[in-house]
Amino acid sequence: MSLFGSSNGLRNASMTAVAIPLISVMAAVGYGNLLFLDYVHVLLGAVWIGVDVFFGIIFRFVFRGVSSSTREAVARRMLPATLFFLPAASILTPLAGYALALQEGVWDTGSGVILAMIGIGSALVISGFLTIFLQSLRIALSPTGTTDDQKLLRRFSIICNGALLQLALQVCIVSLMAELVVYG
């Protein structure tokens, strides 16, 4: 069974959801320009936070208010790209941050702030894979027209709760980054 169905546009969107962040981070690290790397790290992190706001707060209410056939159609169109973008963002954003910290000379594993960021960052990646990624994959791989509506709602609830958890953890990391930058 194809994750993308018969839609090449969906496949292209999903691949683009990985390619743009990956190429951006590789270019920023390869180029070695601190401002460019900072820009890519902050922009990718902001987009990732925006996706979590969308799923965790906005989309959960919209999704509950539409018919079951619409829910399934929306899930099948949106989730494949989500399956690719969120793991890419959850890995590439911290990697860009790590490269940035190395270039700025603030990477010190003896620092409580750095250790807290490593711990929260690990929780971010793990929670994203256990909630958003796994549930999206289950929905995307289920045969079209066979998804039980209650199961779909439950899985989307887990995705939305995972996005809220990620959002809370991201706010913690951003706060720690601000602490590091301001009080270094």
Mean pLDDT, the chain, whole residue set: 85
Q: Is the pLDDT of residue 182 over 80?
A: yes
| pLDDT at residue 105 in the model | 87
Per-residue DSSP letters for the chain? --TTTT-HHHHHHHHHHHHHHHHHHHHHHHH--HHHHHHHHHHHHHHHHHHHHIIIIIIHHHHHTS-HHHHHHHHHHHHHHHHHHHHHHHHHHHHHHHHHHHHHT---TT-HHHHHHHHHHHHHHHHHIIIIIHHHHHHHHSPTT---HHHHHHHHHHHHHHHHHHHHHHHHHHHHHHHHHHH-
Q: Is the pLDDT of residue 183 over 70?
A: yes
Whole-prediction pTM value?
A: 0.82
Residue ranges per structural domain of the chain:
8-183
